[in-house]
Amino acid sequence: MTTYLLALDQGTSSSRSIVFDAQGRIVASAQQELPQIYPRPGWVEHDPREIWRTQLSTAREALTKAGLKASDIRSVGITNQRETTIVWNRATGTPIHHGIVWQDRRAEPTCQQLREAGHSDAILQKTGLRIDAYFSGTKLKWLLDHSPGARAAAERGELAFGTVDSWLIWQLTGGKRHVTDVSNASRTMLFNVHTNQWDADLLALLDIPASLMPEVLPSAADYGHTAEDVLGGAIHIGGVAGDQQSALFGQACFEAGMAKNTYGTGCFMLMHTGQQFQTSANGLLTTSAAQPSGTPQFALEGSVFVGGAVVQWLRDGLRAIEHSGQVQQLAESVPDSGGVMLVPAFTGLGAPYWDADARGSITGLTRGTTLAHIARAALESIAYQSAALLLAMSRDAVANGGAAVSELRVDGGACVNNLLMQFQADLLGIPVVRPACVETTALGAAYLAGLSSDVYQSTEELSQLWKAERRFVPTMDKARADELMARWERAVRQTTAQ
């Protein structure tokens, strides 16, 4: 009898569900767009009810497409957009406010106060994170301070906080389980990654009642069962990880020094550091990796806030293309960007720059510049930002006695763009490897669910399942690559100096 795993992949721009077989092959999938809400510049929200509605709808659709019922699924894995912050009433299940999305910058004033009060080093040592509005803790404080009656209700124990995984599990289990995993918890700025527990001092610092917080479990664990009426029967929920840690797991990057980059709405690069907690001297974060057991494991991470979203801007803002798939053809209609550099700092710059006030810029324009040059520069900006991350990671690895990253495993929607992947390999000077299954975020959640339900016995078994589809080998002269990176850094300096 074939074994099946169901992965729920709740992302920033869409909700997806994928049924995998035990070999990690896709059997069926379904996807629905998730509307973004922009109340004012720098603010980004989601309706939590839409998150649940679209996720449930795709799960049911994927099962129908696969011709399967609940009893055919061994376990459910969940992976999710991280840091997005939801608070709901425990009795009614009603959200008190729209979810505040990871991209949202409204909590920056609180972050500035924390920095000025001298809390940066303590938070970095406990959480691995820099103080930034990106993370959930200050978003949660904002919700308690600005939603009518929220703080009093929280003090009475009436409210529950969760990242998207917690919200989905609450809904899937009919309100029976209020839980999260270590990888999602590590993105809140409230979690001690050394002890794998909520930190009482950090909760007090942000005036957050401990009763709000979910129980934290390993990434492969018993998260309960779906309610009978949700998917047509009770299914074990066995794996949970934040999307980037899930992708690292799905890429079979289980050992120190292995790295992956996910090209999605943003770009997210992680390098596994094993059981060693490393703080970065190069603007990167330390985060908890997906942990199949209770033993802490870590990764260095760099985040690009605007990756594939720059292609959406070309489509919806500039109207340079009608649909995203046209960008490669437009970019390839010119041999290069004609000296144009586009820095897509639409919501500030993430690692390794960390400039919340930076805004996008286009430099190097001439009378001969065309839309094609701008499209190529936009596409190349994804590779430049990712290269800056990997170079920073390699410096950190060498400084901590390790080796520089020798290959980069890639996934996410934009990794299917061959022009982008070749340019990425050229800039980095190492092979860029695209796997046979690029849905590695969902696959990681399925693998974790499979580990907790005895479909798989070890990560060694999972390593054997990983297969490469194409290797992009560098063809550019190193001196030319260095020159291009220097031009990129100059463009970034011009952007941040505004």
Q: What is the rounded (10 degree) CA torsion for 345, 346, 348, 349?
A: -30
Strands 408-411 and 432-435: parallel
- 417 annotated ligand binder: yes
Q: What is the pTM of this model?
A: 0.87
| Amino acid found at 184 | N
- 243 annotated ligand binder: yes
- 12 annotated ligand binder: yes
- 312 annotated ligand binder: yes
- 82 annotated ligand binder: yes
pLDDT means per 10 residues in the chain (498 residues)? 91 94 95 92 94 97 96 96 96 96 92 96 93 94 95 96 98 97 96 95 96 97 96 96 95 91 88 87 89 90 84 86 84 91 87 83 93 92 92 85 85 87 94 92 96 93 94 95 94 79
- 266 annotated ligand binder: no
Q: Is residue 218 part of a domain?
A: yes
Output the 3-class SS for the chain: CCCEEEEEEECCCEEEEEEEECCCCEEEEEEEECCCECCCCCCCEECHHHHHHHHHHHHHHHHHHHCCCHHHEEEEEEEECCCCEEEEECCCCCECCCEECCCCCCCHHHHHHHHHCCCHHHHHHHHCCCCCCCCHHHHHHHHHHHCCCHHHHHHCCCEEEECHHHHHHHHHCCCCCCEEEHHHHCCCCCEECCCCEECHHHHHHCCCCHHHCCEEECCECCCCECCHHHHCCCCEEEEEEEHHHHHHHHCCCCCCCCEEEEECCCEEEEEEEECCCCCCCCCCEEEECCCCCCCCCEEEEEEECCCCHHHHHHHHCCCCCCCHHHHHHHHHCCCCCCCCEEECCECEECCCCCECCCCCEEECCCCCCCHHHHHHHHHHHHHHHHHHHHHHHHHHHHHCCCCCCCCEEEECHHHHCHHHHHHHHHHHCCCEEEECCCCHHHHHHHHHHHHHCCCCCCHHHHHHHCCEEEEECCCCCHHHHHHHHHHHHHHHHHHHCC
- 16 annotated ligand binder: yes
- Residue 498: predicted pLDDT: 53
Angle at 380 between CA 376 and CA 381, to 5 degrees: 115
- Is residue 163 a contact partner of residue 136, using CB atoms and an 8 Å limit? yes
Number of structural domains, the chain?
Answer: 1
Q: Is residue 76 part of a domain?
A: yes
Q: Which residue, 449, 336, 463, is CA-closest to 9?
A: 449
- 469 annotated ligand binder: no
Q: Is residue 404 part of a domain?
A: no
- 83 annotated ligand binder: yes
For residue 71, what are the domain limits? Answer: 4-244
Q: Is residue 382 part of a domain?
A: no
Q: Is residue 381 part of a domain?
A: no
- 134 annotated ligand binder: yes
Q: Is residue 201 part of a domain?
A: yes
Residue 118 to residue 64: CA distance in whole angstroms: 54
| Amino acid found at 139 | K
Name residue, tokens 């664990």.
Answer: 221
Terminal CA-CA length for the chain: 62
Q: Is residue 415 part of a domain?
A: no
Q: Is residue 340 part of a domain?
A: no
Q: What is the CATH number of the domain that holds 205?
A: 3.30.420.40
